[in-house]
A and B are shown apart, each in its own frame.
Chain A
Amino acid sequence: MSEHTKTADDFFDTPLPTTNLPPKEQRSQLLQALLDMDPDISFDDPLENDMVLNMGPSHPATHGVLRILLRLDGETIVSAMPELGYLHRGYEKIAENETYHEFITHTDRLDYLQPLHNNVAYILAVEKLLGIEAPVRAQYIRTMLSELARISSHLVGFGVMAMDVGAMTLLLWCFREREKIHDIFDLVVGARFTTSFTRIGGIAQDITDEGLAAIRAFIDQFPERQQEGERLLNRNRIFFDRCRNTGVISAEDALAIGLTGPNLRGSGVAMDLRRDNPYMIYDQLDFDVITETEGDSLARYYVRLAEMKESVKIIYQCLDKLPQGAVHAREPKKVLPRKERIYTRMEELIHDFMIVNFGVNPPEGEVYHAVESAKGQLGFHIVSRGEGHPWRLKIRSPSFCNLQALPQMLKGHLLSDILAVLGSLDPVMGEADK
């Protein structure tokens, strides 16, 4: 370097000019402090080698509108922070302005991979608040259909996970099976996707023999179709390499974070509300709680696969045991009357008018009821002040809690592992953002 070139260091190393300064004893405190200061200024990069990368909210593999802020060192994730709220629709506030019946349609759009399960979860909470119970036949039908909904949710869950790690075929096969379930819903419920099937004290309409035959035909062929799909992945080296030992979470951590559902059972905790706190008719059914011990993405995938087999088992039992009888509780002031009776009978017309316009008016109090949905513990906490609409409705959504594990699961992994981990967590943003 020649003498004439001056670098930035030369300027900063130059001390303050000392000429024209007052003598030391006359200097102000501030001036003395400035003179005593170390003139070296360091320009450390606060991120050093790290890079901040923004993934989402519009990204093909974030399962909706999840945004993840990543701090990367090369390709390794130093830290990850999910940002939610891109699909916040204000359900809990909407619920405060609607009658208990009106809100059933909103529960469809919570976890839109399994609308029927949300209907059931919500209506069970309302029935608990009202202190009524649906007839046994209605409970059997609810159980059967919510297990079908569980299968359809898991089909998307592991189909999309497979697509994210590169196995596109499986997604198409899963959707082929899902279409069959949609056909059943079309037949039994009247809508293929957003079902809104449950009513307070019962279900919208009784199931026909044709519907039962369709369900039986589906579950007769489903295990074989599932095995077909499994064969694609279970011996697939690429799939295994990407999913094994990624997103590992221990049982203690999973419990501390509040994971539920297949994600918790993948870490070896046998917690399933269907068995631990039976609702509807689950205590009369024979099924296993599936657990895996590894706690990685692959374990969660295996849990989902096995749970679909258990669901098929449950549906078979429901079909065999399905009793005859009414599907509506005999509570004329709480349960919507049948349409054909409204037009011909005075009592029914009055009750229909009162329920539709003023609601069912449950007693004052609060309840919490949770069910084991395909994603985990889905709970509704309702506070009533005796009016036709809830005073407060809190939704405990499993996807929201499951996403809290993401920073811990992603730490130290490669950027491309996000897809396998996120796919195995199977969050649904409609539910997480509420």
Chain B
Amino acid sequence: MGLESALGEGYLTTKLDALVGWARKNSLWPMPMGLSCCAIELMSAGDPRHDISRYGMEVMRFSPRQSDVMIVAGTVTYKMAHVVRKIYDQMAEPRWVIAMGACASSGGMFRSYSVVQGIDQFLPVDVFTAGCPPRPENLFNALIELQKKVEKSSVLDYRDRKEPIIIS
């Protein structure tokens, strides 16, 4: 690069988006919103065999203020939906959401009076994961897909973002 050779040793020119995207995607701290069965598979994802830390995502933070991606693992009931939304609101921008499993994605097998039919009714979801519950490998797939998305996003995407809040 012409500019780099002009600046000399120790300089690198790149796009800000590329640099920030690279940094963000490799330091996603998950907030495990473990609600039911999927939470056990989420714990399995952290066990010695599957080892979530291979993806730089092992730092599970139970405080929303320290985390970047919320993994909603399990059935969200109407009673719990307010809590999930409140915790999402407490997370700092930029933030992402993974809907883990059929229940979080669409209500799953629970077509019942008390179960929210998909968390996209009250949260902006980035990645949906299939399975009841998904195997840990499938969760990793979701994390890698999210990393791709984070990498591609622009720094300005998260500035002045107006999130759609759909209340059914």
B83 at the interface (CB under 8 A from A): yes
B113's partner among A90, A112, A113, A194 (CB-CB below 8 A) is A90
At the interface with chain B, which of A19-27, A175-183, A214-222, A367-375? A175-183
B91 at the interface (CB under 8 A from A): no
Chain B residues within an 8 Å CB radius of A113: 40
A58's partner among B33, B36, B48, B75 (CB-CB below 8 A) is B33
Chain B residues within an 8 Å CB radius of A87: 35-36, 74-75, 77, 80
Chain B residues within an 8 Å CB radius of A86: 35, 77, 79-80, 83
> Is the pair B110, A64 in contact by a Cβ cutoff of 8 Å?
no
Closest partner residue, chain A, to B62 (CB atom): A60
**Per DSSP, are chain A's interface residues mostly helix, strand or loop, or mixed?**
loop
Chain B residues within an 8 Å CB radius of A90: 110, 112-115
Chain A residues within an 8 Å CB radius of B24: none
Closest partner residue, chain A, to B63 (CB atom): A60
B155 at the interface (CB under 8 A from A): no
> Is the pair A85, B79 in contact by a Cβ cutoff of 8 Å?
yes
B125 at the interface (CB under 8 A from A): no
> Is the pair A193, B110 in contact by a Cβ cutoff of 8 Å?
no
Given contacts A57-B80, A87-B75, A194-B133, contact A94 B33 (CB under 8 A): no
> Is the pair B133, A193 in contact by a Cβ cutoff of 8 Å?
yes
Closest partner residue, chain B, to A59 (CB atom): B62
A333 at the interface (CB under 8 A from B): no
On chain A, the number of residues with a Cβ less than 8 Å from chain B's Cβ atoms is: 32
> Is the pair A175, B47 in contact by a Cβ cutoff of 8 Å?
yes
> Is the pair B48, A65 in contact by a Cβ cutoff of 8 Å?
no
**Per DSSP, are chain B's interface residues mostly helix, strand or loop, or mixed?**
loop
B59 at the interface (CB under 8 A from A): no
A156 at the interface (CB under 8 A from B): yes
**Closest CB of chain A to B53's CB: distance in Å?**
12
Q: How far is the CA of A58 from the CA of B83 in the complex (A)?
A: 8
Which bucket holds chain B's interface residue count? Answer: 20 to 34
Chain A residues within an 8 Å CB radius of B115: 89-90
Per-residue B-contact encoding for A419-434, CB less than 8 Å = 1, 0 else: 0000000000110000
Closest partner residue, chain A, to B133 (CB atom): A193
Per-residue A-contact encoding for B45-81, CB less than 8 Å = 1, 0 else: 0111100000000000010000000000011010110
Chain B residues within an 8 Å CB radius of A108: 37
Most chain B beta-carbon neighbours within 10 Å: one of A57, A89, A178, A430: A89
Q: How far is the CA of A90 from the CA of B79 in the complex (A)?
A: 13
Chain A residues within an 8 Å CB radius of B84: 58
Chain A residues within an 8 Å CB radius of B111: 94
> Is the pair B133, A172 in contact by a Cβ cutoff of 8 Å?
no
A275 at the interface (CB under 8 A from B): no
B18 at the interface (CB under 8 A from A): no
> Is the pair B133, A176 in contact by a Cβ cutoff of 8 Å?
no
Closest partner residue, chain A, to B78 (CB atom): A88
Chain B residues within an 8 Å CB radius of A109: 36-37, 109
Per-residue A-contact encoding for B1-42, CB less than 8 Å = 1, 0 else: 000000000000000000000000000000001111101110
> Is the pair A57, B83 in contact by a Cβ cutoff of 8 Å?
yes
Supply 22 A–B pairs (Cβ within 8 Å), ascending by A: A64-B34, A65-B36, A65-B83, A85-B79, A86-B80, A87-B77, A87-B80, A88-B79, A89-B77, A90-B114, A90-B115, A94-B111, A106-B109, A109-B37, A112-B40, A172-B47, A175-B48, A176-B47, A192-B135, A193-B41, A193-B133, A429-B36
Contacts A86-B79, A179-B47, A194-B37 known; 7 new A-B pairs at CB < 8 A: A58-B83, A85-B77, A89-B75, A89-B77, A90-B112, A176-B48, A193-B133
B residues adjacent to A (C-beta < 8 A):
33-37, 39-41, 43-44, 46-49, 62, 74-75, 77, 79-80, 83-84, 87, 109-115, 132-133, 135
Q: Which 9 A/B pairs are nearest by Cβ-Cβ distance?
A: A175-B47, A90-B112, A112-B37, A60-B62, A86-B80, A90-B114, A89-B110, A179-B49, A430-B36
